[in-house]
Structure 1
Amino acid sequence: MNTDITVRPKLQHFGLVTGNLDAMTDWYQQVLGMTINCRFGSEGAAQAGPQSGPPFRAAFVSNDEVHHRIVFFEVPGFLPDASRRAGMQHVAFEYRTFDDLLGTYVRLKGLGILPSFVAEEGFQTVFNYADPDGNAVELNVNNYGNDWTATEHMRNPPAGHARRIPVDPEKLVAARMEGATPEQIHKRIFAGEFAQVRRHGS
């Protein structure tokens, strides 16, 4: 038993409270390919009395081999929080390749789901979305394909590189379709191409 060294556990899952379980699970299924592995509670459970089970519905979802990555708890009457206060700012999901990220953007656009912000950060490219409750969900890709190199870039960015450059995803897709490699696209971003000229969002 280790009692002296700080053990570094990996992040397994997070939980969200919502007032609209069905819309939330549908969105995460569409965007991230989540599967509902467990669901309990029933419609009207909060009004049916203590013998009917918990006064809420819940769904446990995952998009890999882990039993659940997100758990949603539905509390009747809960609304998205529009107030400005301290709390979790966003959650991020990493894709294996630049093409996977761009392909997901195109697929989601076809479903009417658009990013609120897209940016090049050097070590990663990020697409920021909002779920039905307004929670910020980031989809990204490691531009180096190596966590150690990406961390070194974050700590010591190349001279002259901005920390974050807003970009137009349509221009990224067009360049890739024209045959530009991901590496060439990143260089062209820092050379001033692919600037974001309009706001994306629903």
Structure 2
Amino acid sequence: MPPTRNTDAMREWYRQVLGMSVVHATPSATAGHPDLPAIKITWLSNDEANHRMALVELPHLEPDENRASHPRVQHFAFEYQQLDDLLGTYQRLKRLGILPLLCTDSGAQTAFYYEDPDGNSVEVNVDNFENPWTSGEYVKNSPEFANNPLGIFVDPDKMIAAHEEGATHWEIHLRARDGEFAPAIPYDPRVMI
């Protein structure tokens, strides 16, 4: 998808995908500075915070077809509290025709990666250990993680089926690590570059 450089399109995508709401939007954050060009900004949040993300539309930018070869932010992530939330978001987005580029259980977390309208990689995940200390220790000390940080590719639809049959988050995680939820066609993580 080509970069949009359109704050309105980005705002709508993040509203649909992550349930973000607009905290404040301005056609020019520089209105008090007449010597500066207009910079359109929208502040978004998915909770009570003043913002979790800001979308900035700078004037005169051109899409960069070679952006993958330049230093940049590769992706950013949003964490859900429960596996139900992650799987529910997947189902909701799938109904809208928005599918992940990559889904994986890395041990510490289960993560689904999407592409926003500007081609940025957006990760939504859930901690498999359900607490940051334990998952942090796993990342620091696990030989399994050190050998395969990307993790095991998973098919969210297979995970949903197991969950609907009564499997717990931990059971789904263990079954994913055993390869039970492997996608029919393996993902190519290079699509996120």
- TM-score normalized by the length of structure 2: 0.82
Q: Does 1:181 align with 2:164?
A: no
Q: Does 1:63 align with 2:46?
A: yes
Q: Is the 8 A contact 1:128 1:137 kept in 2?
A: yes
2:63 & 2:47 partners in 1: Cα distance? Answer: 28
Per the alignment, residue 170 of structure 1 pairs with 157
Q: Does 1:153 align with 2:138?
A: yes
Figure out how many residues of one structure are paired with residues of the other and give that number.
Answer: 178
Deviations 1:167-195 (CA, angstroms, capped at 9, x unpaired): 11111111111221111111112222111
Deviations 1:97-125 (CA, angstroms, capped at 9, x unpaired): 01110011001111111100000011100
AA aligned to 2:75 is H
Percent sequence identity over matched residues?
Answer: 47
Higher Rg: 1
What does 1:89-108 correspond to in 2, within 5 Å?
89-108=74-93
Could you tell me which runs of 5 or more consecutive residues in structure 1 were left unpaired when the two chains were aligned: 1-16, 43-49
Which residue among 65, 68, 72 is the counterpart of 1:87? 72
1:79 & 1:176 partners in 2: Cα distance? Answer: 45
Q: Is the 8 A contact 1:117 1:127 kept in 2?
A: yes
What does 1:42-57 correspond to in 2, within 5 Å?
54-57=37-40
Q: Is the 8 A contact 1:80 1:134 kept in 2?
A: no
1:33–1:19 Cα change, 3 Å:
same
Offset, 1:33:
1.4
AA aligned to 1:65 is E
Q: Is the 8 A contact 2:21 2:46 kept in 1?
A: yes
More helix by share: 2
1:177 & 1:73 partners in 2: Cα distance? Answer: 40
Offset, 1:73:
1.5
Could you tell me which runs of 5 or more consecutive residues in structure 2 were left unpaired when the two chains were aligned: none
